[in-house]
Chains A and B, each alone.
Chain A
Amino acid sequence: MLPFLKKDMTVLVRDRTELLVLLLMPLILTVILGFALRGMMAGDIGDLDLRVAVVMEDDADAGVEQIIDDLESAGATIDRDSLTDSLSEAEPIQIYQSAFESGDLAEMLTVEYVSKSEAQDALEEEEVAAVLTFPDEFTYDVLQKGILDEGDGGEITIQHGTENQFLSTIFEDVVVQITEQFNMELAISQIVGEDAIAMMEQQPNSNLGGLESVTDQDPLSSIQYYAFGMAVMFALYVASTISSKAYLENHYHVFHRIILSGQHPLKYLLGKVGSTTILVFLQMMFLITIASTFLSGFTIRGMEQWAGVGLITILFAFCVGTIAALLTAVSMRGESEVISNIFSFGIVSILAFVGGSFFPTSQISSVISEIGNWVPNGIALNAFLQWTQGLSLQFITPLLWKLVGLSVLFLCISLLVFPGKKVG
């Protein structure tokens, strides 16, 4: 199969115009769209408009009173008034609230305090992406654990809507972040006393109120968005290019020569998968590397993130490879170039559109964005964005499996359609 790989790749690389389109166009478009539409995302995900409902079942002041009662009944001598004051300032709920209202987060986040039933309605109507519930006795439970080291601590719940998964996972990340920060401060205060908290509060970085962005990364910039959006879009053109070359191979009987050499025709088809995979991988790595080197606003941090980007790229490239095989099989079966042309002049644009390469489709239609979650480029784009925004692997894995599944599907169909050993 090696000769096939090498040949397909050389043939494409020798095609200068094609190469320029595949490598330069996405960069140009990234810069144009990235700057033109800056502000749509730029710096602030605020425009993403993350709406959540908060259900407050807890009475924080009662919780504070109750913990002081506990302390007194345990025999501690305390100045009840001053303790009430200082605990009220450090109420855990307030820590969440002030984080929600601070800086960038305040711009992207709209919090509505509602009753439980109102929250459910809002979630069903998709007016909010998630519901955060502070249960009864939350303050007391947290303080009991924190001060007396008794009980299980407080527990908040986040309910995700069926739509807007991306937004609600962002919100969950925010909450987890705040919680961890709070727990850490609490732990430190237990070990070294109040001084530690006071000290940390003087350092803006460790201040909850200074939370920079949802996931401790730079906010998603429009450059980042379009660099990935254009990369996944132009990767699709590799498939149509490879398959239109395959059409020519068939049309001018080069394929006959291959058959006459006694090689199994499937090697030829798998060669298309392999060469497309490699070409797309190189193309996208080129685009991503150029973007991260020359475009400010595009960042991939550390080896771990690069490795993840590489993995997503490989799986997506393979998926495009199977699309190339499918197009090749169809155009050889039909002895026509039409399918490759329809793909490159129509289908790619449609896929790019629903897959969100031009703008985030969740802003215009949840139906389109749902379809976008099932097209390879849409899946890959989501995976890239979520991963580089620092979401954990567990969010990316289902997307990667989807890519694998689609690849297997495309490959099976192309094997069925491929005309096989005889021609005519």
Chain B
Amino acid sequence: MLEAVGLRKVFKKNVAVDDINLYLEEGESVGLLGPNGAGKSTAISMISTLMDPTSGDVKWNGENVLKKPNKIRNVLGVVPQDIALYPELSAYENLKFFGKLYGLKGKELELKITSVLDIVGLEERKNEQVSKYSGGMKRRINIAVALIHDPQIIIMDEPTVGIDPQSRNHILEMVRRLNTEKGMTVLYTSHYMEEVERLCDRIYIMDHGKVIATGTKQELISILSSEETVLLTLDQSKQSFTERMKNLDGVLQVIENDTSLKLIVPKGSRLLGSIFNIAESEEVQIVSANIQVPTLEDVFLHLTGRKLRD
């Protein structure tokens, strides 16, 4: 079990990670969800022994690894947020270089390279320079390099940032298979809640350096079980209507997005009638009205009052 206990990181006066606790059980797939700047990358750097925490511990099977980082480095595969590769070298050469650093050589190394290229599906283009790859291919090879030494745990820092949906799907599917078929423990960082929802058994939600909620997807959503979301689509956006919605008895929260309004209301509150009445008096047409089951996005919203992505 990999464990972070009371991890904290302060840069000058900026508290990037504020006393977080986190654990990874063997074979688990765990998500770390949070907006940009939440402190995910900083937390991951400390967990993977690249950065000393200001305070707190990282433990591998109960043993503190901060002083003896090599204890954990062999079992750890880390996929950095950046494309941490040599663009001048081919995919094959990159894999070979990093493989050698892990002490692999000869036939074993060649076999390993073939197998990870197969996992990420880039075998055919392995001899092209990485600089010639598309964004999605770069991301895939970025993952492949982290797998070269057969790690037990893979830590991925936003591995799908800035790529097309198809490549993204490919990567998500690949991560799922690594976890379910190869039994690899996964710590998956993202600011896309769909990804975390799809891949992870357990989720930590981070904001402003703190873990603000944790649990399985169901557990997290049940935070909102006493609430539901009413989604209105209007023919126009009108400030006076929005204001009246905010002031309407029973409405907990209003989120505006152009001509659509999201109202968070207590479960079972029968507000549709009053909403339509107000719409009429404000001369606003309601094009559609929807009552939604909450998502992680709503959970985040509920917890922070902000959207996950802006």
Contact = CB atoms under 8 A, between A and B. Distances in A.
Interface of A: 3, 6-7, 10-11, 14-15, 251-254, 256-263, 421-424
Secondary structure at chain B's binding surface: helix, strand, loop or mixed? loop
Nearest to A424: B51
B12 to A, nearest CB: 12
A253 B84 contact: yes
Contacts, number: 72
A256 B84 contact: yes
Contacts of B52: 422
A375 B213 CA distance: 61
A252 B101 contact: no
Interface of B: 45, 48-52, 69-70, 73-74, 76, 78, 80-86, 88-89, 93, 97-98, 100-102, 129, 145-146, 149
Given A252-B83, A257-B145, A423-B50, A262 B88 contact: no
Nearest to A14: B88
A6 B89 CA distance: 11
Given A257-B78, A258-B101, A11 B88 contact: yes
Nearest to A11: B88
A251 B260 CA distance: 42
A380 to B, nearest CB: 29
Given A257-B146, A262-B70, 14 more contacts: A3-B97, A3-B101, A7-B86, A7-B93, A11-B86, A256-B45, A257-B98, A257-B145, A258-B101, A259-B50, A260-B73, A260-B76, A262-B102, A424-B51
Given A256-B84, A262-B74, A424-B50, A14 B45 contact: no
B50 A260 contact: yes
A253 B51 CA distance: 12
Nearest to B85: A254
Contact of A10 (B70, B78, B88): B88
B45 A424 contact: yes
B180 to A, nearest CB: 25
B131 to A, nearest CB: 9
A259 B52 CA distance: 14
Contact of A261 (B73, B89, B93, B129): B73
A257 B84 contact: yes
Contacts of A3: 97, 100-101
B33 to A, nearest CB: 22
B68 to A, nearest CB: 11
Contact of B50 (A10, A14, A15, A422): A422
24 contacts: A6-B97, A7-B86, A10-B88, A11-B89, A14-B89, A252-B80, A252-B82, A253-B81, A253-B82, A253-B84, A254-B84, A256-B80, A257-B78, A257-B98, A257-B101, A258-B101, A260-B73, A261-B102, A262-B101, A262-B102, A421-B69, A422-B51, A423-B45, A424-B45
A16 to B, nearest CB: 10
Contacts of B145: 257
